[in-house]
């Protein structure tokens, strides 16, 4: 079935290094993608989004890359900080689910001091 998923459940990163979190999706009709950050005891917080007519979008310390050919999405975090420790989810919308976000299981990022 259609789903969104992440390649790795956990990622350990040295403070100051760059982080790359990957996500694969299977719905080729998806036209909008969002990365969320979820800290313990909180709801998901919007980080950055990208539409299917783009392949790259940059924010503050974050970059999202979209490769529609292989249906792959990635989130790059520059100069990772302790406050970046959280669970990161990719979500997609579009196609038959044109208003429902579909989430993967998440990647837990731990930043080592």
Binding residues for other proteins, rule: CB under 8 A, are 32, 34, 36, 41-46, 49, 89, 91, 93, 99-106
Cα angle for residues 88, 98, 86 (degrees, 5° grid): 5
- Which CB sits closer to other proteins, 14 or 45? 45
Q: What is the rounded CA–CA span in Å between residue 69 and residue 31?
A: 13
- Which CB sits closer to other proteins, 84 or 106? 106
- Which CB sits closer to other proteins, 69 or 99? 99
As measured in angstroms, the least distance from the Cβ of 45 to other proteins is 7
Longest dimension (CA), the chain: 44
């Amino acid at each position: 079935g259609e789903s969104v998923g992440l390649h790795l459940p956990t990622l350990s990163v040295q403070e100051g290094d760059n982080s790359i979190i990957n996500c694969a999706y299977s719905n080729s009709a998806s036209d909008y993608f969002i990365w969320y950050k979820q800290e313990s005891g909180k709801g998901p917080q919007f980080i950055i989004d990208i539409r299917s007519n783009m392949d790259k979008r940059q924010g503050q310390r974050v970059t999202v890359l979209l490769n529609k050919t292989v249906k792959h999405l990635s989130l790059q975090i520059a100069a990772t900080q302790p406050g970046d420790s959280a669970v990161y989810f990719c979500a997609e919308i579009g196609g038959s689910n044109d208003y429902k976000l579909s989430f993967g299981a998440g990647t837990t990022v731990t930043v080592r001091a």
